Structure 1
């Protein structure tokens, strides 16, 4: 069982993410709902939020068979949701085949100016950024690591090219959107290199990001985590102390709320304690996090592991069970469930029956993409 790193996941990509060029002139044709952007987009977004990925596949199939998608960008939006749903359901070969149907993201077929009657006064690509991301990510899921890295680095180049274009036109809002995408892509690349223990590459990339935005507490915390991975505890402490100073002086870049930033500082401290096997102090920091935000599942999971290391299996199990009962939509993830089942196996002779009860409950409440095999029933 491993503790969850003291970092939140990378910034999520919106499933409705379209190229920002798709926005109409705000003076003439503002969107009033998601459905103004694409056919019945609100229903797809709602299903995605609830993890109803099979229903998304059904809706996309129905819309396609009934010829309900009238505009070129509708087809790309529905393709994005279809590929995302297939990926969530671990049908990666099917998702890859869907992506291959596009052939070339830069084709004139996917440019607004190709259809002046449908998109007057609009130009640029209508390919959702989500599709570009999935195109890279699915290669990893299919076991093609080098191809995936090549695609991510190509996506990074594409993103930086867009930033330069928007900067040259003084489009500040668009520049902000694309800079967030740049950070997202670089975080993905760092994550893949970190998973392969390519620490020097990770350090180069993370320092490049920090030099671009030195007030980002998430990036600096990630640097500290990587430093801990290579045994540089002194460097990690410097990084974590820098984040705490930012929190005390209120000098972060605003990417986190006050509570989120305080919890990040506490989780960083707890991680240092955990590495030093001071589990009592780590539990204290995680308790502070949970008191501020009961949905901080990183703190919940790691507190339970610390209690287990302190040989308090009963309380560690209670911590995870209470989280599942209190905030199931947040707490129900494979890492937490794997740890809970491992604790059951250590604590109870009849653990198979207990895990089966948990598995039956998960089957009733979990989203479609939850991997039920993690209960090991």
Structure 2
């Protein structure tokens, strides 16, 4: 049972605001592309089918007049397809930009992606107009259709690409790619590599409490309990304040109790987190698991059901739903009807990218 993903970023957490373009080129989202604030709002609410509809309308009504606008809308289209798990379609969208055999080392190394190539439109703007999200999606998509090695090659190439640039924005992008790689290796239980990548991230930001916590999570996975305790102690040593930080510390303490199979103490820590923030879905999920491990299956189910009812936008998480359905299977002989009811409710309230198959109905 992990507290959170062990890396600072992954494709699932990709937002388009930073990867789209540099804020130094355009003063606002409205200046970057037509109707972009509306697209960003739909994306933030998980309404990816509506995003695709807007992109399609913009393309057919000639709303897009400048080269960079077409690229921005393509990025939204490809990300929406990715979120909807239409990975083959997303790959076709990305591949339409530049045939791989044209520039095999970097398919986006073409002058048509440069502001400089259109001086009559962009005047003094220089450099690439390609949204960084396109490069991330290009790297991530092969593993979604069964070719993880190609994704790793592209992610490491992208890491080298980000390191060849200067500026704060490129350092953030470097951290994003490092995080995506660390998450990839962690999911495939390549813990030594994940550990090394997280330490690289910490070199960029040594006092980041989230990164220090994730270092501790990986150390727990490999059985380095002393190392994990040291990492968690460094988190507390940052002496930050606020509910988010307090809950991070509380969840770290709870994990230490879990390793020792002290479920009562772990539950106490998670309860304090939930009291501070009822939307802390990690604390809710892990408390429920502790109750189940303590053979209190009824209260475990009540906790998850109650949280889904009270804060559905926060609690509607695939991991939480999978765990709830597993508990139904343990608790009830006729669990199929209960899971069907849950699945129907999810269909009404979930964002477009929610994986409804997690109910196993």
Q: Name the CA distance, whole Å, in 2 between partners of 1:69 and 1:8.
A: 39
Alignment partner of 2:20 out of 11, 18, 30:
18
Which whole-Å CA distance do the structure 1 matches of 2:52 and 2:61 have between them? 14
Decide whether the 8 Å contact of 1:10 with 1:187 is kept in 2.
yes
Q: Distance in 2 between matches of 1:7 and 1:193?
A: 11
Contact preservation (8 Å) 2:6, 2:217: no
| Greater Cα offset, 187-196 or 8-17 | 8-17
Q: Residue 89 of structure 1: CA displacement?
A: 1.0
Task: For 1:255-270, list aligned pairs within 5 A.
Answer: 258-270=242-254
Give the equivalent residue in structure 2 for 1:217: 209
What displacement does 1:235 show? 1.0
Cα distance in 1, alignment partners of residues 93 and 118 from structure 2: 23
Match of 1:371 in 2: 355
Residue by residue over 1:346-368, the C-alpha shift from the partner in whole angstroms, topping out at 9 and shown as x without a partner, is 11222111111111111111111
Displacement after TM superposition at 1:82 (Å): 0.4
Match of 1:314 in 2: 298
Match of 1:291 in 2: 275
The equivalent position to 2:341 in structure 1, one of 330, 351, 357, is 357
* TM-aligned CA distance change 1:350 to 1:284, over 3 Å: same
Q: 2:59 aligns with which of 58, 64, 78?
A: 64
- Where 2:238 maps in the other structure, the secondary structure is helix
Shift of residue 147, structure 1, vs aligned partner: 0.9
SS state of the match for residue 177, structure 2? helix
| Residues 1:120 and 2:123 are matched in the alignment | yes
| Corresponding residue of 2:102 | none
**Is the 8 Å Cα contact of residues 279 and 310 (structure 1) preserved in structure 2?**
yes
User: 2:254 & 2:280 partners in 1: Cα distance?
Assistant: 14
SS at match of 1:362: helix
For the 8 Å contact 2:175–2:201, the answer to whether it is kept is: yes
In the aligned structure 1, how far is the partner of 2:8 from the partner of 2:190? 19
Match of 2:104 in 1: none
2:31 matches 1:36: yes
Provide the residue aligned with 1:172 in structure 2.
Answer: none
Which residues of structure 2 form unaligned runs of 5+? 99-106
Segments of 5+ residues of structure 1 without an aligned counterpart are 25-29, 164-174, 251-256
Question: Does the CA contact (< 8 Å) of 1:106 and 1:125 recur in 2?
Answer: no
| Distance in structure 2 (CA, Å) of the matches to 1:227 and 1:372 | 32
Identify the range of structure 1 (14-23 vs 118-127) with the bigger mean alpha-carbon deviation. Answer: 14-23
Match of 1:183 in 2: 175
Structure 2 equivalent of residue 234 of structure 1 = 226
Q: SS where residue 157 of structure 2 aligns?
A: helix
1:267/1:286 contact within 8 Å kept: yes
Whether 1:45 and 2:40 are equivalent positions in the alignment is yes
Deviates more, 1:82-91 or 1:215-224: 215-224
Contact map agreement 1:206 1:219 (CA 8 A) in 2: yes
The whole-number CA distance in structure 2 between the counterparts of 1:93 and 1:124 is 30
Indicate the residue corresponding to 1:134 in structure 2.
Answer: 137
Taking structure 2 as the reference length, what is the TM-score of the superposition?
Answer: 0.92
Task: Report the counterpart of residue 245 of structure 1 in structure 2.
Answer: 237
Secondary structure of 1:374's partner?
A: helix
Give the superposed CA RMSD: 1.6
Change (3 A) 1:322 1:21: closer
Structure 1 residue 205 corresponds to structure 2 residue 206: no
CA offsets per residue over residues 185-208 of structure 1, 9 Å max, x none? 111101111122222222222222
Task: Pick from 310, 313, 321 the counterpart of residue 329 of structure 1.
Answer: 313
Instruction: Report the CA distance between 1:340 and its aligned residue.
Output: 0.6
CA distance in 1, matches of 2:266, 2:325: 22
Match of 1:195 in 2: 187
Question: Between Structure 1 and Structure 2, how many residues are aligned?
Answer: 349
- Counterpart contact for 1:221–1:268, Cα < 8 Å: yes
Q: How high is the TM-score relative to the length of structure 1? A: 0.89
Deviation at 1:139, TM superposition (A): 1.5
| Match in the other structure for 2:103 | none
Give distance in 2, aligned partners of 1:118 and 1:159: 27
State whether residues 7 and 182 of structure 2, in contact with CA within 8 Å, keep that contact through their aligned partners in structure 1. no
- Distance across 1 between alignment mates of 2:227 and 2:352: 41
